[in-house]
């Protein structure tokens, strides 16, 4: 039952976060990018704080260790990840599927950070080869023009890659933390603090809320990202992070592009190029090498291998 529960939550998370790339792309037609990210977590943070007040005995972080875990989530998982991602998706070359595929590098990047910060997480020579192959996949996906490295969306794709790295580092720091804090409390305060940091960044970039165009579509995009993708999505994410660890849970990044591609095609008429598919497949090969032992164990447990 536990395995089925984890699998079901995993697929729900992949669907929610895959379609979130499409909601971001749609909402960017109405919001300045970093302001959009900040508003998303203004709403999500309030929703999650209300839920934390209902679900746990003490919804306020206590002590240095708990606030450090909140701060790491706010800086890396909320502010840095979403600012880089939202800015990157403003480029027409970065479709929902492309953004999701680049973010699918997160498990490989997580391995690098886990190797440095979590002694139990080891990277073998074959694993290092897998990481290198995964990075090659990112280069193929970016498809840079040597004569114009900032053209063709290359710069925007690199920003999305920085977003993936930020998320991976935040995941490992959360796993490494020794703080005894509830998921609900940590998530709510990370969102609120992250929203504040993102607003500061938006102000520094010259963005303003008054530049937002309020329509039914913009409200739907903001509501979906705030309540479903952020509130419900991160609650599932941190629950699975505690059960599976940072490398396994970030495998959601390999399923999310499928949902992003399908929903992007249905709602935004986005196409999928051969380069996108090739980059994704190369990244999957890299992941297979990095996590070959875990994959073998899962296949044996399922009775596929003897």
Number of domains in the chain: 1
What pLDDT score does 141 carry?
A: 61
What residues contact 156, with CB distance under 8 A and at least 6 apart?
87, 88, 89, 90, 91, 93, 94
Q: Which of 166, 209, 185 is nearest to 39 (CA)?
A: 209
The residue segments making up the domain with residue 143 are 3-302
Q: Are 33 and 198 in contact (CB under 8 A)?
A: no
Distance CA 186, CA 72 (A): 10
The DSSP symbol for 60 reads: S
Would you write out the chain's pLDDT as a tens digit for each of its 306 residues? 576 777 788 888 989 988 999 999 999 999 999 999 999 999 999 999 998 898 888 889 988 888 999 999 999 999 999 999 999 999 988 888 888 888 877 777 877 777 767 655 565 667 667 767 776 776 676 565 554 445 567 888 899 999 999 988 888 887 767 778 888 888 899 999 999 999 999 999 999 999 999 999 999 999 999 999 988 887 888 778 777 766 567 667 777 887 888 888 888 887 777 777 777 788 778 777 766 766 666 656 655 555
Structure tokens at 216: 């039914």
Q: Are 178 and 18 in contact (CB under 8 A)?
A: no
Is the overall model pTM greater than 0.75, yes or no? yes
Provide the Cα torsion 257, 259, 261, 263; round to 10°. Answer: -150
């Amino acid at each position: 039952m536990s395995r089925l529960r984890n699998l079901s939550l995993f697929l729900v998370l992949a669907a929610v976060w895959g379609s979130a790339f499409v909601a971001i792309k749609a909402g960017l037609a109405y919001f300045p990018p970093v302001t959009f990210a900040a508003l998303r977590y203004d709403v999500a943070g309030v929703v999650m704080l209300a839920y934390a007040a209902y679900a746990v005995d003490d919804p306020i972080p206590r002590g240095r260790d708990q606030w450090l875990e909140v701060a790491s989530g706010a800086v890396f998982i909320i502010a840095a990840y979403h600012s880089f991602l939202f800015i990157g998706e403003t480029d027409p070359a970065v479709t929902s599927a492309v953004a999701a595929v680049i973010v699918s590098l997160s498990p490989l990047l997580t391995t690098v950070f886990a190797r440095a910060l979590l002694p139990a997480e080891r990277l073998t020579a074959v694993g290092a080869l897998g990481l290198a192959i995964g990075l090659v996949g990112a280069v193929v996906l970016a498809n840079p023009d040597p004569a114009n490295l900032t053209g063709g969306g290359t710069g925007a794709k690199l920003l999305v890659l920085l977003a993936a790295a930020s998320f991976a580092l935040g995941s490992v720091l959360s796993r490494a933390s020794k703080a005894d804090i509830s998921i609900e409390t940590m998530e709510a305060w990370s969102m609120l603090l992250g929203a504040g940091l993102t607003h500061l960044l938006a102000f520094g970039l010259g963005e303003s809320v008054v530049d937002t165009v309020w329509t039914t579509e913009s409200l739907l995009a903001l509501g979906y990202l705030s309540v479903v993708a952020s509130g419900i999505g991160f609650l599932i994410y941190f629950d699975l992070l505690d059960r599976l660890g940072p490398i396994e849970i970030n495998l959601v990044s390999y399923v999310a592009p499928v949902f992003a591609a399908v929903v992007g095609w249905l709602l935004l008429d986005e196409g999928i190029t051969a380069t996108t598919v090739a980059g994704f497949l190369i990244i999957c090969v890299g992941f297979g090498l990095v996590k070959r032992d875990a994959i073998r164990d899962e296949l044996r447990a399922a009775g596929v291998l003897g």
